[in-house]
Amino acid sequence: MDTLSSKEIFGNWATLLVPVDEHNSINFQRLEREIDDVKGLKVICKDILPDFF
């Protein structure tokens, strides 16, 4: 993993909470909605996480 310098880190950042159901399994539908909401805010960098786009 390469570390980023302060000049490479910019913009808005957000924390995602992984939604779990009553059986402690990840609720992927809720997680997908949460990611979609965050993508609308343009907080995910395409260069770092290209699979989200």
Q: For 7-30, write each residue's pLDDT tens digit.
A: 877 766 677 889 999 999 999 999
As a whole number of Å, the CA-based R_g of the chain is 14
pLDDT at 9: 75
Domain ranges of the chain: 17-53
Residue 51: the pLDDT is 55
- Beta-carbon contacts of 23 under 8 Å, excluding residues fewer than 6 positions away, are none
Give the chain's mean pLDDT. Answer: 77
The pLDDT, as a whole number, for residue 27 is 95
Tell me phi and psi for residue 51, to 5 degrees: -70, -15
Query: Above pLDDT 90, what percent of the chain?
Result: 28
What angle (nearest 5°) sits at the alpha carbon of residue 33, between those of residues 29 and 39? 140
Q: Say what the pTM is.
A: 0.54
At residue 28, the pLDDT reads 95
